[in-house]
Structure 1
Amino acid sequence: MQGGSSDLRHYLKQFEPKLVTVLREGYGWRDLRADAVAGLTVAIVALPLAMALAIASGTGPEKGLYTAIVAGFLISALGGSRVQVGGPTAAFIPVVFVVIERFGFGGLVLCTLMAGLMLIAAGLLRLGTLMRYMPQPVITGFTAGIAVSIFSSQVKDALGLQMESLPAEFIPRWTAYAQHLATTQPATVALTVGGLVLIFGLRHWKPAWPGFLIALVACTLAGLGLALPVETIGQRFGELPTALPPLQMPDIPLDRIPELLPSAFTIAFLAGVESLLSAVVADGMSGGKHRSNGELVAQGLANIGSALVGGLPATGAIARTATNVRAGARSPLAGVLHAAFLLAFMLALAPLMRYVPLPALAAVLLVVAWNMSEHQQFRHTLSAPWGDRVVLLLTFGLTVLFDLTVAIQAGLAVAMVVFMVRMAESVEISQGGGGAGGEDDPALAEDSTQRLRLPAGVEAFRIDGPLFFGASNRLDHLLDQFIHAPPKVLILRMRLVPIIDASGTHALHNFAKRCTRLGITLVLSGVQAQPRRVLGDMGFRAAHPDVRFAATFDDALELSSSLADTAE
């Protein structure tokens, strides 16, 4: 009973918010002052991003602010990272845009709710640790693809093209751009270029300054002072709200759930991967250690909270988290205060935000797209083995041309196939007693001349590597060379087989049956603990009572000698 209680406490401990842990350890005024400065710094960075990301997603800027405030508060207050900052991120733009295009904003709310429930379930099932096994070419491929999609979505506002609607698909979108290229507005292009120059210039000369916010303010003042004919937030979306909306349960069309499940899974997947990647980055910068499963549960609750106020999907934001750490954050309270400062900004500045020109927000998102592209990592992965290059280019191409759901599924499937091929190629079946890994490793080696010690009528083969479904067919043709003159005894050396699965057991089962048909006595030598257990559990010994087992190769040689003599 005591052991069960201890296990339960250990299980629940991984979901304890880091904020609770920090407060229990002790928290003083100096810590609060440092967190307040960091929270204000991140809020200044997050304000233009929240609006820009929402507009790029096909909805109003207030949705981004709601998300940054509500989800940002919940992620920091309940999460498993000490300095994680959450909110809307660029990774969601292609998915959210397509969902709104096909199902309306109500469909997105339902998707976000389902994604939140999926994230909570993943955390409770302790799947957070599995995220570390995500293949890097898949992550780089869909991240670069998202960057191209974001760039593609901003051409209209960056050039001021006179278009009523923007197609969701990549090729139709660029076809529409080409058809409306003659409607480019010089003033809009000038403001976009000015914003880009200012952001990159500040990044080079004054990297500590909030470049996005400064560019937004400068472009707004330029647009008003010069009376430039550019579209503003107020012209497209009207007045921004000056308060958070009340919590409300949306009208859920249950019959649409099957259609929305793939998009909900994609949102949950992106939220889980990006939040845990951000938490790892934060650990590296701050020296902390996050609780991955607790972080997933917090991300799920944050997405549910965002959906209930009409917000967007949310996750941990790597750039904002890094800004938080560099600004001196000491606890999750910095992220909580960042949400409070954003709420204050919305309440105080909403009447002024209507004058922000859309080209300035387009410039912000073009820089975000460039940052997301990971062009250096992309080029680096192109020099990897062929399998990684295929996974990278496939995931990238499908993300751009189709959608993220298809890209992730195909990328993971191909990555698994590539892994299986590599593992299968690493398995060697060599004849005799010598071979790789012999003389240099006394723990594994046997005498390289052991083949010379084989008694008459005895053959030996060694399997080197895991005997799993990708490599099980390597046994199929082993006996073909003995069709006309089979040995009396065949030793299969398995000391270098660390694991075996159902397919490997099935292959070994068929191999033993062929040995019986050919009149060969099979001896398995040096079977390790895991293969021995699997073979026993799957009834191999019961099905093949004539198969002999030997602890070492020397034992196998002695047993084979007596068996060969008996056969004569």
Structure 2
Amino acid sequence: MSLLRSARQLLPGTADYAPLKRSWKNDLIAGITVGIVALPLALAFGVSSGAGAAAGLITAIVAGVVAAVFGGSNVQVSGPTGAMVVVLAPVIALHGMQSLALVTIMAGVIVLAAGALKLGRAVGYIPWPVIEGFTLGIAIIIFLQQVPAAFGVPAGDSTNAAVAAFQSLRNTDFSTLFWPLVLVLIVAAIMLAAPKIHPQLPGSIIGIIVATLVAGLAGLPVTRIGDLPSSLPAPSVPYFDPGLVTALLGPALTIAALAAIESLLSARVAASISDTGPYDPDRELVGQGLASVASGFFGGMPATGAIARTAVNIRAGAKTRASTIVHALVLLGVVYLATGPVGQIPLAALSGVLMVTAFRMISPATLRSVIGSTRADTVTFFVTAVITVSFDLIQAVEIGIVVAAFFALRSLVKASGVHREELPGPAQDGDEQIALFRLDGALFFGASERVLERVSAIRSVHVVIIRMSQLQILDATGARVIAELVTALERRGITVLIKGIQERHLKLATHVGVLESLRHHKHLFAELEPAVEHARSHVSRARQQTTTARTRGMS
């Protein structure tokens, strides 16, 4: 029964459209607005990935509708994105266009499975500096990928964006350089100026229209998009080649991880900046997985939630997922009514759109926040960004998390420790024979050795009291160190009393042998005063025994 209830939570329902009676006008306007903004991005990302402008347009339409209906966010806009282009371009270059549909469907199935297995909240464990460093690296790669089209030269052979950009520049034919750069500058200037004139002006569309008119009227010798399908292609099952499936498994896992991370981050940001209700991370993964599967059957690319288009959707007044469906219908109208004019768009103009988009992905305020926070966060941020650009996207996230975890553990170790304290109340004769230690913070595999060294070094005492009431974190290694410490002190004839083991640590301490290592079960105390009183009684008894032994020796 619970399994059926969980499955129902991942499926669409009438509650998704409950506010539509009141918000349909806002949703309609928002859908049209974001559709206009999404058109040049869909075309540009399709071209930049090597899949072609048509694939980008198909992805925005098919995946946009499926993710809107099945996804976990009420205002998320899905389609081709820069991060996906970065990882997809080398796959198509290496395995050819026949790999596009197959890797898209494979990645979609993996994301779908992640949602069904309730793994949606895992993105919450990715540290903020890692996310921002990854975003910076993606922005740099997107910018570098546009260099060949912006300069009107073929792309370099390398799968690394920085190396490929350098190869393109090295082989630049300066006789063909001027006009593509002019078109890039026209688009960039209009996109940067449009928001200053009016926040709702679609600068990318205006820039592309102006650049296309300039190229057409002046007869400029620049490369254009070319022919586009005048209708949505019929769905088809890609050719199943076991060898190709094996070769694409690694890239599919990478694409799936990127799709999950980017979509969940986008949905989380959307929920924080809008009043359209929370998002369901597991349902979002199911929706994005289905969207990529559907896109693959229609010849499209893998899809993810797109934060830039989602933000436009929210600012335009979207309240329900109907706005995202309208956005896809606007793009569908372009396919059936305007493929001729769209095919005349110069590739350099699309490069200008993506260069400005990449530039806008880098927030100066965010950079200042990260760099001005802590040295550990700054190092994590730059390490993630450098590895993203230089090596691999998923490796960048993995290494970034490891670096962040290292610094977090180091901070935890520094905040943890063992402190010797004075005994409470007025001093009594023999108190110098009692050592009271307080354990603070966390006692785990990274900090336990220091505690062992500090307490083991104690000399000239009869009783050691270990206070554990302030200990917040205790793992098996830390508990075992306490057991070894007690055993070592008892072996030296030092009585050990333990005070204040928290209830949540008691089971672990018992299982690892902390209580068993004590000389007597009554050496475990809940309060400090009885522990100190018991310690003083031990010292007093030891002194009496010493005095008696001396008396006998003298007699």
- Is TM (by shorter chain) over 0.5? yes
Note if contact 1:454-1:557 (Cα within 8 Å) is conserved in structure 2. no
Report 1:119-138 matches (<5 A).
Answer: 119-138=111-130
Letter of the 1:465 partner, please give it. Answer: G
Aligned equivalent of 1:467, options 443, 446, 449: 443
Q: Alignment length, in residue pairs?
A: 540
Report 1:523-534 matches (<5 A).
Answer: 523-534=497-508
CA distance in 2, matches of 1:475, 1:112: 52
Does residue 343 of the first structure (1) align with residue 317 of the second (2)?
Answer: no
* Structure 1 equivalent of residue 200 of structure 2: 208
Letter of the 2:509 partner, please give it. Answer: L
Letter of the 1:233 partner, please give it. Answer: I
Structure 1 stretches lacking a partner, 5+ long: 435-446
Does residue 323 of the first structure (1) align with residue 312 of the second (2)?
Answer: yes
| % identical equivalent positions | 35
Report 1:63-78 matches (<5 A).
Answer: 63-78=55-70
The 10-residue stretch of structure 1 (465-474 or 250-259) with the greater mean CA deviation from structure 2: 250-259
* Structure 1 equivalent of residue 397 of structure 2: 408
Does residue 500 of the first structure (1) align with residue 474 of the second (2)?
Answer: yes
Report how far residue 73 of structure 1 moved: 0.6
> Could you say if the C-alpha distance between residues 390 and 70 of structure 1 is closer, same or farther in structure 2, counting changes exceeding 3 Å?
same
> Could you say if the C-alpha distance between residues 257 and 503 of structure 1 is closer, same or farther in structure 2, counting changes exceeding 3 Å?
farther
CA distance in 1, matches of 2:159, 2:524: 63
Letter of the 1:284 partner, please give it. Answer: S
* Structure 1 equivalent of residue 95 of structure 2: 103
SS in structure 2 of the partner of residue 499 of structure 1 = strand
* Structure 2 equivalent of residue 271 of structure 1: 259
Note if contact 1:14-1:293 (Cα within 8 Å) is conserved in structure 2. no
Note if contact 2:487-2:517 (Cα within 8 Å) is conserved in structure 1. no
Report how far residue 112 of structure 1 moved: 3.1
Report how far residue 140 of structure 1 moved: 1.0
Does residue 156 of the first structure (1) align with residue 151 of the second (2)?
Answer: no
Does residue 361 of the first structure (1) align with residue 350 of the second (2)?
Answer: yes
Does residue 197 of the first structure (1) align with residue 189 of the second (2)?
Answer: yes
> Could you say if the C-alpha distance between residues 307 and 296 of structure 1 is closer, same or farther in structure 2, counting changes exceeding 3 Å?
same
Note if contact 1:71-1:305 (Cα within 8 Å) is conserved in structure 2. yes
> Could you say if the C-alpha distance between residues 294 and 450 of structure 1 is closer, same or farther in structure 2, counting changes exceeding 3 Å?
farther
Report how far residue 451 of structure 1 moved: 7.9
CA distance in 2, matches of 1:466, 1:260: 44
* Structure 2 equivalent of residue 181 of structure 1: 172
> Could you say if the C-alpha distance between residues 545 and 265 of structure 1 is closer, same or farther in structure 2, counting changes exceeding 3 Å?
farther
Note if contact 2:495-2:519 (Cα within 8 Å) is conserved in structure 1. no
CA distance in 2, matches of 1:174, 1:365: 15
Structure 2 stretches lacking a partner, 5+ long: 546-555
Report the RMSD for the aligned CA atoms in angstroms: 2.4
CA distance in 2, matches of 1:260, 1:516: 61
CA distance in 2, matches of 1:116, 1:359: 31
CA distance in 2, matches of 1:255, 1:515: 63
Report 1:383-394 matches (<5 A).
Answer: 383-394=372-383
Report 1:402-551 matches (<5 A).
Answer: 402-433=391-422, 455-482=431-458, 485-542=459-516, 546=520, 548-551=523-526
Higher-Rg structure is: 2
> Could you say if the C-alpha distance between residues 188 and 565 of structure 1 is closer, same or farther in structure 2, counting changes exceeding 3 Å?
same
Report how far residue 257 of structure 1 moved: 5.1
SS in structure 2 of the partner of residue 390 of structure 1 = helix
Report how far residue 150 of structure 1 moved: 0.9
Note if contact 2:65-2:324 (Cα within 8 Å) is conserved in structure 1. yes
CA distance in 1, matches of 2:362, 2:432: 65
Letter of the 1:70 partner, please give it. Answer: V
Deviations 1:64-105 (A, max 9, x none): 111111111111101111111111111222111122223334
Note if contact 1:433-1:450 (Cα within 8 Å) is conserved in structure 2. no
Report 1:203-242 matches (<5 A).
Answer: 203-234=195-226, 239-242=227-230
CA distance in 2, matches of 1:393, 1:452: 57
CA distance in 2, matches of 1:144, 1:454: 64
Report how far residue 407 of structure 1 moved: 1.2
Report 1:549-568 matches (<5 A).
Answer: 549-567=524-542, 568=545
The 10-residue stretch of structure 1 (36-45 or 502-511) with the greater mean CA deviation from structure 2: 502-511
CA distance in 1, matches of 2:105, 2:530: 62
CA distance in 1, matches of 2:196, 2:430: 72
Letter of the 1:562 partner, please give it. Answer: S
> Could you say if the C-alpha distance between residues 315 and 194 of structure 1 is closer, same or farther in structure 2, counting changes exceeding 3 Å?
same
SS in structure 1 of the partner of residue 468 of structure 2 = strand
> Could you say if the C-alpha distance between residues 68 and 429 of structure 1 is closer, same or farther in structure 2, counting changes exceeding 3 Å?
same
* Structure 2 equivalent of residue 444 of structure 1: none
> Could you say if the C-alpha distance between residues 178 and 84 of structure 1 is closer, same or farther in structure 2, counting changes exceeding 3 Å?
closer
SS in structure 2 of the partner of residue 223 of structure 1 = helix
* Structure 1 equivalent of residue 370 of structure 2: 381
The 10-residue stretch of structure 1 (306-315 or 139-148) with the greater mean CA deviation from structure 2: 306-315
- When normalised by structure 2's length, the TM-score is 0.91
Letter of the 1:531 partner, please give it. Answer: H
CA distance in 1, matches of 2:36, 2:170: 38
Aligned equivalent of 1:118, options 110, 119, 127: 110
